[in-house]
Homo-oligomer: A and B are copies of this chain.
Amino acid sequence: MKEQNVPAPDVVVARLPLYLRALNFLTEDGLGVISSSDLAARLGLSAAQIRKDLSHFGDFGKQGSGYNVAYLRNKLREILNLEDIWDVALVGAGDLGHALAHYGGFIGQGFRIRLVFDSNPQKVGRDLGGLTVFSTNVMKEEIRRRQIRIAILAVPAVAAQRVTDDLVEAGVGAILNYAPITLMAPADVHVQYMDPVAHLQHMAFYLK
């Protein structure tokens, strides 16, 4: 294993979950070893890109013999801090909150929605995917009490910044935001955006 000298650029970190997803599928398919070129073909990348990306984190394959799928998968889970399951707070119990609460893709990938909040008194106290919806009035104290570091924001744009401020105060360090608004957060709080419009507009550029 090489020493990790230079921190990996964020664009490289962003690709690791895609590698991990491909390795999960390979594991399901019972494949033990994969070459960087086969892995690259699955991901629409070049083999050189994959080798270069992974070289930031260690030495994972012998030249010519490919990657051991189970080993690389475990190492990626370790690098991405996914060895334990992260509890996640979901804010917003509307249509999208429902879809997220019932989404089967979190568990097994390192995340579990543990708390659900909504500001609508008619939703508070109801069951959502096996969890009781709490009022956003108790959000800060509940998140602090359970030391939750990750939140998913599924609230209307008009409420998103206020909720974000509360999440940051409560100690949340990573926010996945579905509201179509750019959030202001301290530099040490990571925010990522799930904005279908931005993706559609990005692709529309190429459609004429």
Contacts and interface: CB of A to CB of B under 8 A. Distances in A.
A53 to B, nearest CB: 13
B20 A201 contact: yes
Interface string A157-184: 1000000000000000110100011100
Contacts of A202: 13-14, 16-17, 80, 192
A14 B201 CA distance: 8
A99 B95 contact: yes
Q: How many copies does the complex hold?
A: 2
Contacts of A79: 205
A192 B118 CA distance: 30
Interface string A182-198: 10000000101011111
A42 interface: yes
A42 B180 contact: no
Interface residues of A, number: 58
A100 interface: yes
Interface of A: 13-14, 16-18, 20-22, 25, 42-44, 79-82, 86, 88, 94-96, 98-100, 102-103, 105-106, 109-111, 149-150, 152, 157, 173-174, 176, 180-182, 190, 192, 194-208
7 contacts: A16-B205, A21-B198, A106-B197, A109-B201, A174-B204, A192-B202, A194-B199
